[in-house]
């Protein structure tokens, strides 16, 4: 997207103390994806020359999550200015633009970041551009204080702001684009003379002004995309925003959501045009649903690819590692786990299919199950094309049922079944006439004896 040199520094050393999280703050998830991943995805569209993530000591999982981006440790968490200094150790002699972002502001769009970069590049005398937005209640945010020419005179953190400055509604979002040629020198002038005794990058506009460089503001009118996240409540607010955007995304692409606010998505959900999703459906990670398929109410689906014109649910659970073919019918209270289900198969109700390879046109009856676990290992059931599995059948894996075979209802099958055969495995039925009446009489007499 850009031909000029661009480096991106993401400040992500926060411990997540206010979240009461043992993980680094930016590793907490939105739509099943760590916050830092959302931000890195937006940055990727800018095609920067380098991406550096500033992390805290011991954050090995965060370092792994941002790979192959470079990570640098901030030994002591004493402010954003100190964090940026750590990154500058890797950017010596870099003369391009340095985009500085906060890792806990994950929903900012590539377009907004690009506008921020362009704002700094519009004039040679602009040393810094700041991403700002206007909010009704600016409590807790740093205020952007403007000079008469429309440039930023200062950024005032709330704890250091005067009562009059606190009335300003134009706030700092924490995103900056800075002149890389001069940034190291400006950082050297930072002090910690403030209420927090920390080094703030928000002091840089005043330092740049003393050096003869202006700071401009790039305003986004979508305050949701620049929301920060320090608490579980704020994480919940971001989740609501991200879910709403996903719902709008699918509605715009021809997906029917009968009650959108009750449907939950993961970041990688794929729904093709013409899909219908009924209320109260949860899509976990790794779900792809083909054109014209209907997902019925109260279904839980994750790690599955579903073909075209299928029907799943209601009250179905499809677990990871599964693949459902075209025109498949999965009914109520059916669970599928790590199985491949062929085209036009019907598993209509109250069934379990685990570790199974099922051919086309199979009818899997009510209450039938594949018994795939022997207490130590999982085993596979292979079912051929056109097989009929009767109700309440137990298929004990490992097992092969060949094309066209019939499994009689109520059977427990332990041996392979050849093509077009009938397999029946039932205990001999015995009828004892009058037994029930005698049994009830004995129970009644025993009860009366106890009562007396």
CA distance 275 to 277: 7
Structure token digits, residue 7: 């480096």
CA distance 11 to 13: 6
- Contact in structure between 384 and 358 (CB atoms under 8 Å): no
3 state SS for 40-106: HHHHHCCCCCEEEEEECCCCHHHHHHHCCCEEEECCCCCCHHHHHHHHHCCCCCCCCEEEEEECCCC
- Distance from the first to the final alpha carbon of the chain: 93
What positions carry a catalytic annotation?
349
């Amino acid at each position: 997207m850009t031909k000029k040199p661009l480096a991106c520094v993401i400040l992500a050393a926060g411990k997540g103390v206010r979240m009461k999280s043992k993980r680094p703050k930016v590793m907490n998830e939105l739509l099943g994806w760590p916050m830092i991943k959302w931000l890195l995805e937006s940055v990727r569209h800018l095609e920067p020359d380098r991406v550096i993530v500033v992390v805290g000591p011991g954050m090995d999982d965060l370092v792994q999550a941002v790979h192959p981006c470079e990570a640098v440790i901030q030994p002591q968490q004493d402010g954003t200015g100190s964090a940026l200094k750590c990154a500058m150790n890797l950017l010596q002699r870099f003369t391009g633009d340095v985009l500085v972002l906060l890792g806990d502001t994950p929903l900012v769009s590539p377009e907004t970041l690009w506008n921020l970069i362009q704002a700094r590049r519009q004039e040679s005398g602009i040393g810094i551009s700041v991403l700002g937005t206007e909010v009704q209640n600016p409590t807790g945010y740093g205020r952007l204080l403007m000079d008469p020419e429309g440039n930023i005179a200062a950024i005032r953190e709330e704890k250091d702001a005067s009562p009059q400055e606190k009335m300003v509604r134009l706030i700092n979002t924490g995103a900056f684009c800075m002149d890389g040629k001069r940034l190291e020198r400006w950082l050297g002038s930072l002090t910690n003379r403030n209420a927090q005794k920390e080094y703030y990058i928000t002091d840089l506009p005043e330092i740049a002004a003393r050096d003869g460089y202006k700071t401009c503001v790039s305003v986004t009118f979508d305050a949701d995309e620049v929301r920060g996240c320090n608490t579980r409540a704020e994480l919940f607010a971001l989740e609501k925003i991200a879910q709403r955007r996903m719902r709008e995304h699918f509605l715009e692409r021809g997906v029917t959501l009968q009650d959108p606010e009750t449907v939950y998505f993961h970041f990688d959900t794929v729904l093709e045009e013409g899909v219908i999703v009924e209320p109260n459906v949860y899509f976990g990670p790794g779900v792809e649903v083909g054109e014209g398929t209907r997902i019925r109410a109260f279904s839980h689906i994750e790690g599955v690819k579903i073909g075209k014109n299928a029907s799943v649910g209601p009250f179905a659970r499809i677990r990871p590692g599964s693949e459902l073919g075209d025109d498949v019918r999965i009914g109520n209270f059916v669970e599928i786990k790590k199985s491949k289900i062929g085209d036009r198969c019907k598993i209509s109700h109250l069934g379990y299919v685990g570790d199974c390879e099922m051919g086309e046109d199979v009818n899997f009856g009510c209450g039938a199950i594949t018994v795939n676990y022997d207490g130590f290992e999982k085993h596979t059931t292979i079912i051929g094309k056109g097989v009929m599995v009767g109700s309440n059948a137990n298929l004990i894996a490992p097992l092969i049922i060949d094309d066209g075979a019939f499994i009689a209802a109520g059977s427990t099958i332990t041996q392979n079944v050849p093509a077009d055969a009938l397999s029946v495995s039932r205990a001999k039925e015995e009828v004892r006439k009058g037994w029930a009446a005698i049994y009830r009489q004995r129970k009644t007499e025993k009860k009366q004896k106890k009562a007396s």
